[in-house]
Amino acid sequence: MVNPVPPDSPIDVANAKPAAWAASLVTRLKYLQGNLPEATPENRQALLEEEIRRALQELPLEKRGSHLYALVQVFPDWELAAATAIAPAAGARQTPDEVIKSFLQLAPSLAGEQREKVKQQLAALGLVIPSSAPIEGEALVAVRTKLKLDAEDPVNGPPLAKLFAAYAEAMLALDQLAWNVWRNAAPKSPIRRDVAQGDLRTVTRRALTGDAESAAALGQVQRQLEASRQLIAGLLAGLGPAGKNFAKRYQQRYTPDAVRELVRAEGGGKNDAQFWKKHTELAAEITETVIEDDVQAAVVKYAEDLMRGSQQRD
C-alpha cells in the first residue's frame, strides 16, 4: 500500500486558512492518485476518501464547514457523498440516511455565502422550492402591520430595498443631528447615546450581514432607534412648555403690575418715575442670551424627564 504524504502537524492544521488547507490536501491526494496506477477504481476511491476523512477529523468541528467548502471549490464536481468524510466510521460507505444526517450536522457551521450556494444547489436538484417573496414569516407580518397592509397586498423585493435605503439614509442623518444638538444643548446631562457596540450605521450593517452576532446586533439597532426616537420626541415636544415657562417668568417679573409690586416691596412707589426706573433696570436682564438659555433649559428638562420616565417604565 502506498503511504500518503506526511500530514501537517495538529497546530498547523488548526491554524491553516481554508484555501491553504485545501491546497495541502489536494497535494496529498494527487500524490496518492499518481502512485496507485495498478489499484482498482474501488480501492483508489476508498483510499482517497479515507485521506479526506482523516484530514477533516483533524480540524475543529466549527472549522470543518468552511474548509470543506474550500475543498469543493477546488473540485467543483465533488459529490455530496464526500460529506461522509466527516463521519467517524472508517472506510465504510454511508447509507443515504447517514449522508443526510451528516449533512444536517454540517449545515449549522456553514457561513452565509456557503449557505446560499448550498440553497442554490438544492434548488437545482428540486429538493428546495425557492420562495418568490422577498421576506416571509414574522418579518412579513411586521411590515404589513406597521404599514397597515392587507394580507393580499404584495410586498415586492426591489421597492422594499429602495424604501429601506431611503428610510435608512434619513434616519441615520436625523440620528446624528439629534444627538449633536443634544450634546451642545445639554453638555452636563447624564443621558448620552450608547455607542459601546458602534453607532447606528455600524450596528445596522452588522445586523444585515448575517454574521454570528446578527441577532444581538438587531437588538442593538432597536435600542438605539428607541433612544433616538425618545430624544427627538422630547426635543420637539419640549418647545411648547419652553415658551410657556418663559412667558410665566416674564409675567412674574417684567409686566407693569409685577414692577409696581417689586417697587412697593422695596419701599417706593410714590410716583411713576420710580416705576419706570425699576422697569428700565429689569429690562436689562432680558437679553438674547438669557432668553436662549431659558428656552433651551426648559427643552432639555422636558426631554430628560421624558427619557427618564421611559427608562423607568422599561
Say if residue 258 is in the same domain as residue 243. yes
Which residues are CB-neighbours of 225 under 8 A, at least 6 positions away? 171, 175, 200
In angstroms, rounded to a whole number, what is the distance separating the alpha carbons of residues 230 and 2? 72
Same domain, 148 and 209: yes
Residue 131 lies in a domain: no
Range with lowest mean pLDDT among 72-81, 112-121, 163-172: 72-81
Of 9, 33, 31, 35, whose CA–CA distance to 21 is shortest?
9
- Within-domain flag for 130: no
Q: Which domain holds residue 194?
A: 137-237
Q: Are residues 253 and 163 located together in one domain of the fold?
A: no
Q: Is residue 188 part of a domain?
A: yes
The domain total for the chain is: 3
Instruction: Decide if 5 is inside a domain.
Output: no
Count Cβ atoms below 10 Å from residue 85 Cβ, excluding itself: 20
Q: Rounded to two decimals, what is the model's pTM? A: 0.48
- Which run of H or E residues covers position 170? helix 157-185
The pLDDT > 70 percentage for the chain reads 80
Q: Do residue 149 and residue 117 come from a single domain?
A: no
**233 within domain boundaries:** yes
Q: Are residues 22 and 66 in the same domain?
A: yes
Q: pLDDT tens for residues 296-313? A: 888 888 888 888 876 555
Q: Are 232 and 309 found together in one domain?
A: no
199 in any annotated domain = yes
Please say whether the beta carbons of 163 and 143 come within 8 A.
Answer: no
What pLDDT digit, counting tens, does each position of 210-252 carry?
A: 665 667 888 889 999 999 998 998 888 888 777 777 777 777 7
